[in-house]
Chain A
Amino acid sequence: MFRRLDDSGVTLSLTVDGKPIRARSGDSVAAAMLAAGIERCRATPVSEAPRAPYCLMGVCFDCLVTIDGVGSRQACLVPVRDGMAVETQLGKRQAGR
């Protein structure tokens, strides 16, 4: 759905559900996922309906993912780091993660 205007500087690497994707320094996790063609970042806790990043400004909480083992983080507010492990969050978060 999304394509980068310019591929220069896309040098960082992170994983989403174990699969490597590339990102540029300054990308949010949500932007990096969208640029990599990952449209579903989670499934809702009760009906398990798919969700993608929506507002991209920290308001809608639709982009919740697990980052480096910590659940329910807003992917649009967290800048990517090299080596980051992102997991899509299916249904309810597990307490303690």
Chain B
Amino acid sequence: MKDGFDVAVVGGGLVGAATAWGLAREGCRVALLDEGDRAVRASRGNFALVWVQSKGLGLAPYAGWTVRSSNAWGGFADLLKQETGLDVCFQRPGGFHLALSEKELETRANTLKRLHNQPDIVEYKTEILEHSEVAKMLPDIGREVVGGSYCPLDGHVNSLRLLRTLHTALNARGVAYLPSHRVENISKEGGEFRLATPQGEVRASRVALAAGNANMRLAPMVGLEAPMLPERGQIVVTERLRPFLNHPVVTLRQTDEGTVMIGDSKEESTDPSGLTLGVSATEAERAVRMFPLLANVNVVRTWSAIRVMTKDGFPIYDESETHPGAFVLCCHSGVTLCANHALTVAPMIARGALDKALVAPFSARRFHVPAAG
């Protein structure tokens, strides 16, 4: 039995760690409950984009929410550096989505048009560029690149260092990090949440569920819901190369230390230990068509990871009506939205209520409305 905390955050990945850090900044006494080394960990396998373009088709407020986090990211990285001395290598040079055929470019243009034609959509610029205009910023593109879309708000970060930095900052702020504390059950007694784990019970006045796809199992314990549809992605990583790629591409980026990450596949399988050669070969083949100089570069690693994905792909932020003080946070883009979770959502949880003006569109209640048409 551990003494009661102000808030128990469930999930030690990027969403949970950012939320716990934000809560600690608000003066809360926080416990961060994590699983052990064998947990399925999206925050160790992601692609590390801080990405804006194409987010929000079907739920316009998601575009605004994403732009808000993108704009807050630089300041967030600075705060982390002040606290820990660690640089998470956030860069926002603007990013590309490249098309390898006229049809791909047309599909891209139509998607962006539909996105930006939605009522109440936040205003920002995404341009469709021809090959020659793309080549001015990405001089190494191949002839097969017909063009692409460019958004100056897109960027990327070193996401493994981000996770380490957050945990360093949490430790410095006295947050109780509790590994191997898989939450088996949550009950509320005497105004206090009791979280049952194999290591004993943790008690807290509030609970914030940030356990990725596992929120699906946990949310109903406190009168919430988190309908998830996990999917698998595969990533191919090259040896370290001298910098040649000054802008991240949605399927390919060069990290601060020189490796090129190639990714963006989607599969229904949720086996995190499986790799299918066909998928990584297709990713690599498209990467070489986009950047022919990659043709003889050595691949040093491949991996697959399970994406955290809600059923409609948009985030879920909710507070429980039946269990006041219980919150749920689910999203696919734990890197992009990290600044929002730390600087906007955590203070709401510290105050005890979500700010409806900002996050009402992301309630899971939307899943109960029959889809039109």
Contacts and interface: CB of A to CB of B under 8 A. Distances in A.
A9 B293 CA distance: 39
Interface residues of B, number: 15
Interface in B251-284: 257-258, 260
B239 A93 contact: yes
A75 to B, nearest CB: 14
Interface stretch (B203-211, B294-302, B343-351): B294-302
Contacts of B140: 95-96
B188 interface: no
A95 B240 contact: no
B244 interface: yes
B242 A46 contact: no
B241 interface: yes
Given A70-B296, A92-B258, A96-B293, A46 B240 contact: yes
B294 A95 contact: yes
A91 interface: yes
A93 B257 contact: no
Contact of A92 (B241, B293, B294, B296): B241
A78 to B, nearest CB: 14
Interface in B302-347: none
A28 interface: no
A8 interface: no
Interface string B27-46: 00000000000000000000
Contacts of B240: 45-46, 92-93
Contacts of B242: 91-95
A72 B244 CA distance: 17
Contacts of B257: 45-46
Given A46-B258, A92-B242, 14 more contacts: A45-B239, A72-B239, A92-B240, A93-B240, A93-B242, A94-B241, A94-B242, A95-B140, A95-B241, A95-B242, A95-B293, A95-B294, A96-B140, A96-B296
Interface of A: 45-46, 70, 72, 91-96
The 4 A-B residue pairs whose C-beta atoms are closest, nearest first, are A96-B293, A45-B240, A95-B293, A92-B242
12 contacts: A45-B240, A45-B258, A46-B240, A46-B258, A91-B242, A95-B140, A95-B242, A95-B244, A95-B293, A95-B294, A96-B293, A96-B296
Interface of B: 140, 239-242, 244, 257-258, 260, 291, 293-294, 296-298
